[in-house]
């Protein structure tokens, strides 16, 4: 039992034929223009549905096969007889050769005399009263100006890059120097603190050394006096 086809919307029929929506629209316009028929019905919300009885015709157009009404109608018994008759009559009217009509000029013909054109004309008399400013070769002048502008832009970009490089080098040198300055400042602070502690230690040791020397000196003086007194009494 053959499957009965249902009307299909544009997207569904395009998928059925294996073609795009745009190609399907072109096929429909060609068929309806050449055949003078409508192969669709109007649906809701501006939708159109393609009628199953015309599916084989679309397949013929898609495959590039002949689509003559005389050939096609014989293959579609489901099309009503009135539609077949209309299509066959249209085909016969297109194929029929019109009878050649002969026309005789007859009498009552007079040749008129047309005005002749002058050999020259002055366009200035036809122009308006506003003068037109023109240039010899504006495109060449503009091309030269554009070339100048492009060269100027290249120089500007190159100089800008050079300036940026100089800034970057200066920033790098400044950062390098700042790091060293910070290092010296930190070392100077530590050096100042260390020098103070060393000075205090040195001063303490020097003071103690001087005191010990003086103490030893005083002890030496006392021993010398004792020795002198002992020598005087023995005499």
Report if residue 112 sits inside a domain: no
Report if residue 144 sits inside a domain: no
Query: 3-15 pLDDT, tens per residue?
Result: 567 788 888 888 9
Report if residue 27 sits inside a domain: yes
Residue with tokens 């070339």: 147
Quick one: residue 166, left, alpha or beta (phi over 0 = left, psi -120 to 50 = alpha)?
alpha
Q: How many other CB atoms are found less than 10 A from the CB of residue 95?
A: 9
The stretch 35-39 carries a mean pLDDT of 79
Percent share of the chain, pLDDT over 70: 74
Strand partners, 41: 49
Query: 102-161 pLDDT, tens per residue?
Result: 665 656 667 788 888 888 888 877 887 788 888 888 988 899 899 999 999 999 999 999
- pLDDT at site 1: 41
Report if residue 102 sits inside a domain: no
Whole-structure pTM over 0.75, yes or no?
Answer: no
- pLDDT at site 66: 73
Q: Among residues 95, 129, 151, which one ends one of the domains?
A: 95
Report if residue 168 sits inside a domain: yes
- pLDDT at site 193: 93
Query: 83-94 pLDDT, tens per residue?
Result: 666 666 665 555
Q: What are the helix and strand counts (H, E) for the chain?
A: 6, 3
Non-local (6+) Cβ contacts of 84 within 8 A are 73
Report if residue 106 sits inside a domain: no
User: For 80, phi and psi rounded to 5 degrees?
Assistant: -65, 155
CA distance 175 to 34: 84
> Collapsing DSSP states into helix, strand and coil, what is residue 48?
strand
Q: Which residue has the higher pLDDT, 218 or 113?
A: 218
How many domains in the chain? Answer: 2
Report if residue 37 sits inside a domain: yes
Name the residue range of residue 18's domain.
8-95
């Amino acid at each position: 039992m053959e499957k009965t086809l249902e009307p299909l919307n544009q997207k569904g029929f395009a998928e059925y034929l294996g073609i795009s929506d745009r190609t399907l629209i072109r096929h429909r316009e060609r068929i309806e223009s050449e055949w003078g028929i409508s192969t669709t019905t109007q649906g809701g919300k501006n939708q159109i549905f393609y009628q199953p009885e015309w599916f084989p015709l679309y397949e013929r157009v898609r495959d590039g096969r002949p689509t003559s009404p005389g050939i096609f109608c014989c293959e579609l018994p489901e099309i009503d007889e009135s539609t077949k008759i209309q299509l066959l009559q249209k085909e016969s009217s297109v194929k029929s050769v019109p009878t050649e009509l002969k026309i005789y000029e007859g009498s009552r013909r007079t040749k008129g005399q047309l005005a002749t054109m002058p050999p020259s004309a002055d366009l200035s008399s036809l122009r308006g009263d506003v003068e037109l400013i023109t240039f010899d070769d504006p495109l060449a002048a503009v091309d030269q100006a554009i070339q100048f502008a492009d060269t100027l832009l290249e120089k500007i970009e190159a100089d800008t890059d050079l300036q940026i490089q100089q800034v970057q080098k200066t920033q790098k040198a400044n950062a390098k120097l700042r790091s060293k300055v910070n290092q010296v400042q930190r070392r100077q602070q530590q050096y100042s603190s260390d020098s103070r502690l060393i000075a205090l230690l040195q001063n303490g040791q020097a003071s103690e050394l001087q005191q010990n020397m003086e103490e030893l000196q005083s002890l030496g003086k006392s021993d010398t006096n004792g020795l002198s007194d002992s020598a005087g009494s023995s005499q």
